[in-house]
Amino acid sequence: MPEYLPTAPYRGTRDFLPPEMSVRTQVFGHLYDVLERYGYQRYDGPVLESAEIYERKSGQEIADQQLYTLTDRGGRRLALRPEMTPSVARMIAGNAGSLQFPVRWYSHPNCHRYERPQRGRVREHWQINADIFGSDSANCEIEIFELVHDLMRGVGATDDMFVVRANDRNLLSSALTDLVGVTAEQLPQVFGLVDRWEKYDRETLATQAEEIGLPDKQFEKLGDVLGAGTALLDELPEQVKETSNLVKVLANEAAGLVRFDPMIVRGLAYYTSTVFEVFDTSPENNRALFGGGRYSDLAGMFTSQQIPGIGFGMGDVTLMDFLGTHGLTPQPRSEVDVVVIPVAEELAGAARQVATELRGAGMRTSTPLELRKLGKELGRADKAGAKVVVIVGQEDWAAGNVTVRSLATREQRVVALTEAAAAVAELLA
């Protein structure tokens, strides 16, 4: 017996059959539409990048544990991109001389991370990325938060289904050093602890805090700070708050778009100030859906020019989980709207001619590739989701006519070939 190769995809990746692809196309089509209505232009880049750009800026977890790397025949160390932001920073830096800043860009790349597959996490995912480059203004934060809300509404969500929780790393740094007594050397590790705060039990967190060098008293104070909400802002120095775009947003009419939350820190190392995450409010899917933030120096890996940026990445896995949780997943589209059926093999060319006319009128139209009896072809058309069939018969075609039939009502009528498109459109409507 021959030894067949497995038909399952590599663990952590997915096949998308036509019905699933139809759902995805509909969902992402809505997102593209929202982004382009805001003036964002679509770009793309290579799936292979220098491993160094992730090792320098994406953070230890990605660089040490999740990066798919390879060495090419020229000895260059490459990686399958785990995210798009370092790539777009490279592209912005490389083309800065020809760009009119600020710029609004978006993309929809597939990304790869060596994760332990589980709900919400796989090893290959697709991600909507949206970024603004070239401005430090708080208006960027406001637009990004408005965009997030409109993207969620674009896929059918209402504002009570999700919440945007935002923080500023500079505000958090001030709180940790001034109120908790964390040293500058401890800050990166404490940031990591804060990022895990809602994922672990208190005993585990206390053990990790002790390993960092925080005694019980500091650990308790850390818990108080992280749970303080907006009241924490009253305890922070004015000079720190004056430089925070997030504080400006919270004092603006856009304040209702976000909720200040000291526990939001984001795991990626390149974030420098504003950070945010979008959470599902349903208890059935109580988790972060996606997030982003501001990075003031990411382009500095490639250029001496200061090009600040802010953006986010919306992954397909958590988004589809969200839609399923709230009953918002669209139904797959049918294969076709119309099937043109010749009653005899010698009429196949005539059927293709009719199909060409209908396609030209914007209708999704197919013809049989292997002719069967009319009854079987009608059944196949029905299973394909067609609403209308056009039957090409010998006598009708000789007279310049075709038969247009509704599969829903079984009503049919003979129409002139010149009127076929209009007759089909009427039935489809």
Same-domain pairing of 106 and 225? yes
Using alpha carbons only, how large is the chain's radius of gyration in Å? Answer: 28
User: Which of 229-233, 239-243, 267-271, 408-412 is the least confident region?
Assistant: 267-271
* 371 in the same domain as 299: no
- Whether residues 113 and 244 fall in one domain: yes
Instruction: Give the tens place of pLDDT for each residue, 157-169.
Output: 999 999 999 999 9
Task: Mention every residue, 6+ apart, whose C-beta is less than 8 A from residue 276.
Answer: 145, 164, 165, 166, 167, 258, 264, 291, 292, 293, 312
In a shared domain, residues 343 and 320? no
Predicted confidence band of residue 15 (pLDDT cuts 50, 70, 90): very high
Per DSSP, 76 falls in state -
| Residue 249 lies inside a defined structural domain of this protein | yes
127 among the known binding-site residues? yes
Which pTM value belongs to this model? Answer: 0.91
Looking at this protein, which amino acid is placed at residue 90?
R
Domain identity same for 150 and 212? yes
Taking 90 as the threshold, does the pLDDT of residue 281 lie above it? yes
In this predicted structure, what is the pLDDT of residue 117? Answer: 83
| CA dist., res. 279 & res. 288, Å (int) | 4
Query: What is the structure's pLDDT at 60?
Result: 66
Which residue spans within 31-87 are E strands per DSSP?
Answer: 41-42, 48-50, 69-71, 77-80
pLDDT band at 156 (very low <50, low <70, confident <90, very high): very high
Q: Same domain for 400 and 273?
A: no
Judge if 365 and 318 occupy the same domain: no
Tens digit of pLDDT for each residue in 73-132?
A: 999 999 999 999 999 999 999 999 999 999 999 999 999 999 888 887 899 999 999 999
Pair (252, 370) in one structural domain:
no
Rounded to a whole number, what is the distance in angstroms from the first to the last CA of the chain? Answer: 54
Is 84 labeled as ligand-binding? yes
Task: Say which residue, 342 or 299, is predicted with more confidence.
Answer: 342
Residue 111 tokens read as 């990304």
Do 244 and 111 sit in the same domain of this protein? yes
Same domain (yes/no): 279, 342: no
pLDDT the model gives residue 212: 93
Assess if residue 4 is contained within a domain: no
Where among 296, 325, 354 does a domain terminate? 325
CB 58 within 8 A of CB 86: yes
Say if residue 270 carries a ligand binding annotation: yes
* Position 139 confidence tier, pLDDT thresholds 50, 70, 90: very high
Residue 12 belongs to a domain: no
> Which pLDDT value is given to residue 65?
84
- Nearest residue to 147 via CA among 131, 166, 167, 169: 131
Last-in-domain residue among 286, 302, 325: 325
266 carries a ligand binding annotation: yes
CATH number at residue 406: 3.40.50.800
Give the max Cα distance, the chain. Answer: 94
- Alpha helices by DSSP H, listed for 268-343, are 316-325
In single-letter form, the type of residue at position 114 comes to Y
With H, G, I as helix, E, B as strand and everything else as coil, classify residue 184: coil
Q: Is 68 annotated as a binding residue?
A: no
106 assigned ligand-binding residue: no
Q: Are residues 313 and 356 in the same domain?
A: no
pLDDT reading at 226 higher than 80:
yes
Question: What's the pLDDT at 115?
Answer: 85
Q: How many domains, in total, are found in the chain? A: 2
Q: Over 70: is that where the pLDDT of 6 sits?
A: yes
Domain membership flag for residue 218: yes
Do 186 and 279 have their domain in common?
A: yes
Contact 11, 117 (CB under 8 A): yes
Please state, for a pLDDT cut of 70, what percent of the chain lies above it. 99
25-62: pLDDT as tens digits: 999 999 999 999 999 999 999 999 999 988 886 666 67
4 annotated among ligand-binding-site residues: no
Residue 214: Cβ within 10 Å count: 24
Q: Evaluate whether residue 11 is within a structural domain.
A: no
DSSP 3-state assignment of 315? strand
Tell me, what's the pLDDT at 58? 65
* DSSP class of 299: G
- pLDDT tens per residue across span 184-217: 999 989 999 999 999 899 999 999 999 999 999 9
pLDDT per position as a tens digit, 342-384: 999 999 999 999 999 999 999 999 999 998 999 999 999 999 9
Is the per-residue pLDDT at 428 higher than 90? yes
User: Could you give the CA distance from residue 358 to residue 347 in angstroms, rounded to a whole number?
Assistant: 17
Distance CA 119, CA 317 (A): 8
What does the mean pLDDT of the chain come to?
94
CATH number at residue 229: 3.30.930.10
Predicted pLDDT at 57:
67
Last-in-domain residue among 286, 303, 325: 325
β partners of residue 131: 105, 311
Domain of residue 98 covers 18-325
